[in-house]
Chains A and B, each alone.
Chain A
Amino acid sequence: MSHAMGRVAVVVGMLLLCHTGYSVSQLRSFLRFNEDEFTSLPLDMMLEGLLGVAIAVWGAAATQTFKEIRAIEDIASKSFESFLHRPNFITFSHRGKNLFGDIS
């Protein structure tokens, strides 16, 4: 489930919703012109709107990933010695060269 597919789904859902909105506004102006009253929406427009919303929500939510919160899970697989390994704190400028270096 890639992020690209989620974004495509959001765009498709929004296009469906915009199409529904356009249809509804056309219907409204038509009814206003004929001086009929607007009772309820036609079923196909309603379904199209709901489908657009559902696709957009799915596209936004389904591509997200959760992270494991129990720290035990990933420290259980490590050995004890690896906890002491802090590569950022290793220094190379110390007295070792003078203590253990060449015997001259």
Chain B
Amino acid sequence: MQRSRTLTVDKGSEIKVYNEGAIRHNVAVVEYCRTCTAVFCGMGAGVLGLTALYGFGFYILSIVGMWLLLVAKAGSNYERFFTSRKAILTNGFFGALFTYILCWTFAYGMVHVY
């Protein structure tokens, strides 16, 4: 099995070896979940008729909710899957925001303006 590894030296005395393909896979999974969350919550915000700041507040709520879901899924031993939990929250924040706004305005137009 061919596999490339990245070698990083820890601040302590331990040398950590990471499986690069697995890191990339996990980041892709988180990106997929974030896009799905943005799409579904955007459509939900449009259907519920949220406007202006309420809509953005709902987006922040949905992203934090997704973060809690993924952190719970990773479990207490999260270092098996992620190097940093905060990165899951902040990584694609504005990219997913645009997806959210797209679905939000579409659903709002469909339902409330029609």
List residues of chain A with CB under 8 Å of any chain B CB. Answer: 13-14, 17, 20-21, 24-25, 28-29, 38, 41, 46, 49-50, 52-53, 56-58, 60-62, 64-74
Q: Is there contact, CB below 8 Å, between A58 and B69?
A: yes
Interface membership of B82, Cβ < 8 A: yes
Q: Is there contact, CB below 8 Å, between A60 and B37?
A: yes
Q: How far is the CA of A14 from the CA of B41 in the complex (A)?
A: 11
Q: How far is the CA of A72 from the CA of B41 in the complex (A)?
A: 39
List residues of chain B with CB under 8 Å of any chain A CB. Answer: 3, 5, 16-19, 21-23, 25-26, 29, 32-33, 36-37, 40-41, 43-44, 47-49, 62, 65-66, 69-70, 73-74, 79-83, 107, 110-112, 114
Q: Is there contact, CB below 8 Å, between A49 and B32?
A: no
Q: How far is the CA of A14 from the CA of B40 in the complex (A)?
A: 8
Q: Is there contact, CB below 8 Å, between A61 and B70?
A: yes
The prevalent SS among residues of A at the interface is helix
Q: Is there contact, CB below 8 Å, between B112 and A49?
A: no
* Chain B minimum-CB-distance residue to A56: B40
Interchain nearest-CB distance for B89 vs A (Å): 14
Cross-chain pairs A/B with CB under 8 angstroms, 27 sampled:
A13-B40, A14-B40, A20-B47, A24-B47, A24-B48, A25-B110, A49-B47, A50-B44, A53-B40, A53-B41, A56-B36, A57-B62, A57-B65, A60-B36, A60-B40, A61-B37, A61-B69, A66-B80, A67-B19, A67-B21, A67-B25, A67-B81, A68-B19, A69-B19, A69-B81, A71-B3, A71-B5
